[in-house]
Chains A and B, each alone.
Chain A
Amino acid sequence: MANLFAGIGTSHVPGIGAAVDKGMSQTDYWKPLFDGYEPAREWLAKEAPDVVILVYNDHASAFSLELIPTFALGVAAEFQPADEGYGPRKVPVVEGHPELAWHLAESLILDEFDMTIVNKMPVDHGLTVPLSITCGQPEAWPFKVIPLCVNVIQYPQPTGNRCYQLGKAIRRAVDSFGDDLKVAIFGTGGMSHQLQGERAGLVNAEFDIAFLDDLTRDVDRLVKISHVEYLRESGSEGAELVMWLIMRGALDDDAKEVYRHFHVPASNTAAGLIILENP
């Protein structure tokens, strides 16, 4: 039987990917951030999941305003790195897990989460930067990846509670998959940041640290954070944190924090990483 054993929350700032790609991760600016990623890389290499369900958002790469799915699940055998305007990142092709992905689609839809099913979807920094953060620069990614793409660009995004409930449904789906697979789930994006407008550069470390704390202490509070509270307190792009709640929902209620790292800034963003494990 498949076993969903742990979750990682992490920011997916494109500048972090660029620092990896350009060999700049040991510069004065980036070193403190990357030093804090090292224990997470060691943990993940040791745990060696077979499959990662990677919750992220697309940034005008695979989807445009022509089509705005709230939750899109990638069921293909592979996903190519997207050209976001610089040419595609030179990172390995992302290999999917069609059998588990289709099982998720079937289970989730019958569980009344109306997923969009995607067979062709280039994946941008939202998905590939978390892989670089947690795996470095391997020849091939060390696990299969099922992309779960969430609309957080067009208001209204799905609510925190809806995301959390989706996480719970993902867990039910994984638990009912017959093959022996070790499965982890990543929730990505955030933490506080505002890219746009005269308020650009907003960071709210207090909000972020309380968010990290309450992933194990008071999930109910996090699930109730409204869109306007995210906008006001964590910046116009801070609502990406709802994607961490999908990850959280998929774990046991009493999941334990095993590691965290928080650093300001990564480009215009407060970068956070947390590892949660089921007991």
Chain B
Amino acid sequence: MRDDRIYSDIPGTYVFDPQHSMQGYHLNMFCMSLNQAENREKFREDEEKYLDQFPLTLEQRQAVLTRDWVGMLRLGGNIYYTFKIAIFDGLSMQQVGAAMSGVEAEAFQKMMIDGGRPIEGNRYKSEWDNNG
């Protein structure tokens, strides 16, 4: 994540800005291709072979194959695009949110029912750093 933008001090947040869009173009366009049923079938048959059609970097390819959801964001993925892979996997946004924030799905769901992740303590990276 770049550190020279006015939003760079927000913790745990990957703004889909021009740099991310350049970096993640092919990754996101692969994700978009899963909107079509016949492409979902091809991806289901052989993920590696299907990915060969898209000029992804090795890191992006690995992140897709291992379902490294935060990794995909770091490598230019946009959540609305990478969520196409989650839909393909039969995952909910809450399950993916849990995976990205490093907790179990049940704990994440409970946090949401209890009012969501609070804003207090979550505005600035410095607030996260101070808490180790």
A binds B: yes
Q: Which residues of A contact B (CB under 8 A)?
A: 14-15, 59-61, 64-66, 82-87, 153-156, 192, 194-207, 227-228, 231-233, 236-237, 264-265, 267-268, 270
B44-52, B58-66, B114-122 - the one binding chain A? B114-122
Docked-complex contact A199 and B117, CB < 8 angstroms: yes
CB distance from B77 to the nearest CB of A (A): 9
Interface string of B15-35 (1 = CB under 8 A from A): 111100100010011011011
- Name the one of A15, A83, A154, A197 contacting B12, with C-beta atoms under 8 angstroms: A197
Bound complex: CA of A203 vs CA of B108, how far in Å? 13
Q: Which of B10, B16, B25 has the most CB of A within 10 A?
A: B10
Q: List 26 A-B contacts (CB under 8 A).
A: A61-B35, A64-B29, A84-B35, A84-B84, A154-B21, A155-B16, A155-B18, A196-B14, A197-B70, A198-B11, A198-B100, A199-B12, A200-B101, A201-B108, A201-B111, A201-B116, A201-B117, A202-B119, A203-B112, A203-B117, A203-B119, A231-B10, A232-B123, A236-B13, A267-B94, A268-B94
Interface size on B, residues (CB 8 A): 52
**Contacting residues, chain B, for A205 (C-beta < 8 A):** 115-116
Bound complex: CA of A13 vs CA of B113, how far in Å? 16
CB distance from B80 to the nearest CB of A (A): 5
Docked-complex contact B119 and A204, CB < 8 angstroms: yes
Does B75 sit at the interface, judged by CB under 8 A?
no
Nearest neighbor of B77 in chain A, beta-carbon distance: A196
Nearest neighbor of B111 in chain A, beta-carbon distance: A201
Docked-complex contact A83 and B37, CB < 8 angstroms: yes
Bound complex: CA of A233 vs CA of B25, how far in Å? 28
Q: Which A-B residue pairs are the 3 nearest by beta carbons?
A: A203-B116, A198-B12, A199-B12
Interface string of B88-132 (1 = CB under 8 A from A): 100011101110111000001001110111110011000000000
- Name the one of B13, B79, B80 contacting A231, with C-beta atoms under 8 angstroms: B13
Docked-complex contact A265 and B13, CB < 8 angstroms: no
**Contacting residues, chain B, for A227 (C-beta < 8 A):** 7
Nearest neighbor of A193 in chain B, beta-carbon distance: B116
Nearest neighbor of B115 in chain A, beta-carbon distance: A264
Bound complex: CA of A244 vs CA of B93, how far in Å? 24
Docked-complex contact B112 and A155, CB < 8 angstroms: no
Docked-complex contact B13 and A206, CB < 8 angstroms: no
Bound complex: CA of A196 vs CA of B15, how far in Å? 9
Q: Which of A64, A82, A201, A236 has the most CB of B within 10 A?
A: A201
CB distance from B64 to the nearest CB of A (A): 15
Docked-complex contact B80 and A153, CB < 8 angstroms: yes
